[in-house]
Copies of this chain bind each other. A is one copy, B any other.
Amino acid sequence: MSSADTRPRRRADAERSIARIVSAARDCLSRDPDATVDDIAKAASVGRMTVYGHFRTRPELVEAALAEALRAGEQTLAGVDLGGDARQAMSRLLASSWSLVAESAALLSAAQRVLPEGRLRELHTGAADRVELLIVRGQSDGVFRTDLPVTWLVNAVQYVLHGAAEEIRLGRLDAAAASGIVTATVQSILAVPDPVGQVRSGT
């Protein structure tokens, strides 16, 4: 009873239904944090009652969707080599997972409104924390800026990713080019600011 077989008996098709529902929930909630249970059911090609058969309340469903997204995020994160130059590591990280992180961020804001305060931090620990560690390492290696709070840097990156996802949804940003653009933007945010050209150099 470590993590699998939460319940002793469950039929295979039920398992499949649950998977479809959670997946649909991720899709719907990422697009619209206010997605209805009925919307999600329809997206999963499943009756609304089936959803309630597996998730007692809507918040419970939202939490399940978020948990799965975070799990997927952590798995992807685990597959990325975070060693070597912190900047390159960050680029690798973004290249392989930025859209996923962005999606999780949208889900996160969806969950923020229906889950109790502490529950979020509880679930979210580890995902963003590992990004923070990478940034901190980059700082102590002297390749990332130290003039701004780490908390801010982490969140600023989050917001940029979220924004990029939104821009794509609105058709204002090419999905194919997004990865490069996001990476360039994030690198600029994290890089040690150039003391010469920043605000000085009037005339």
Contact = CB atoms under 8 A, between A and B. Distances in A.
A159 interface: yes
Given A87-B199, A194-B194, A199-B91, A156 B185 contact: yes
A160 B148 CA distance: 14
Contacts of A199: 87-88, 91, 187
A193 to B, nearest CB: 6
**Protomer copies:** 2
Nearest to A189: B188
Interface residues of A, number: 40
Given A159-B162, A163-B158, A163-B159, A192 B184 contact: no
Contact of A167 (B155, B166, B184, B191): B155
Contacts of A194: 191, 194
B197 A143 contact: yes
